[in-house]
C-alpha cells in the first residue's frame, strides 16, 4: 500500500513536470529506466536501501541471489552480470538494469584498468539482508 502511494506521488510529480517543461528554470527528472517487475514485497511496511559499490578492475561479486528485485545504475565504467540460465548482460555508465529476485548471479568488472561504480536501490521487507551468498 505504502509503495503504491509513493509511486502515485512520483507519477503526479512527473506529469506536473511534463506540463511545465517549457519553463527552462524548473528542474525536472530524466527517466533512465522503466520496467514492470515481479516479486516486490507485499507487507504493510517496506524498507528502502540505497547502496553504492566500487568494483575494482578485474573483480567480481560473490555468487548470490536477492529475495526481491534490485535496481542498479552504473555511475562509472561497465558492469557485466551473469545469471544462471541467461546470457550475460553488460550495462555501461549512465545505464541501469533490474536484477530479478531469486536468480543465481555474479557480477564482474571486466576492465583491466577502470573501476566500476554503481548505485543500487533495494526495496524489501524490513530487515531482509541485501543478498544471500551461494556456496
Strands lying side by side in the sheet with 70-76: 47-55, 116-124, 70-76, 96-99
Average model confidence (pLDDT) for the chain? Answer: 89
The predicted structure's pLDDT at residue 11: 58
* pLDDT for position 23: 72
pLDDT tens by residue, 75-115: 999 999 999 999 999 999 999 999 999 999 999 999 999 99
Read off the pLDDT of residues 31-53 as tens digits, 9 standing for 90 and up.
999 999 999 999 999 999 999 99
- Range 50-69 average pLDDT: 98
- CATH architecture for the domain at 39-133: Sandwich (2.60)
Amino acid at each position: 500500500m505504502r509503495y503504491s502511494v509513493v509511486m502515485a506521488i512520483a507519477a503526479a510529480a512527473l506529469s506536473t513536470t511534463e506540463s511545465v517543461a517549457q519553463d527552462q528554470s524548473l528542474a525536472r527528472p530524466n527517466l533512465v529506466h522503466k520496467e514492470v517487475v515481479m516479486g516486490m514485497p507485499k507487507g504493510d511496511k517496506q524498507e528502502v536501501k540505497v547502496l553504492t559499490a566500487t568494483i575494482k578492475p578485474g573483480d567480481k561479486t560473490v555468487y548470490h541471489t536477492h529475495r526481491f528485485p534490485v535496481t542498479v545504475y552504473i555511475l562509472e565504467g561497465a558492469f557485466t552480470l551473469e545469471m544462471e540460465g541467461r546470457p550475460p548482460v553488460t550495462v555501461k555508465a549512465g545505464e541501469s538494469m533490474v536484477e530479478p529476485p531469486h536468480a543465481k548471479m555474479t557480477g564482474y568488472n571486466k576492465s583491466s584498468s577502470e573501476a566500476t561504480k554503481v548505485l543500487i536501490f533495494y526495496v524489501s521487507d524490513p530487515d531482509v539482508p541485501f543478498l544471500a551468498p551461494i556456496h
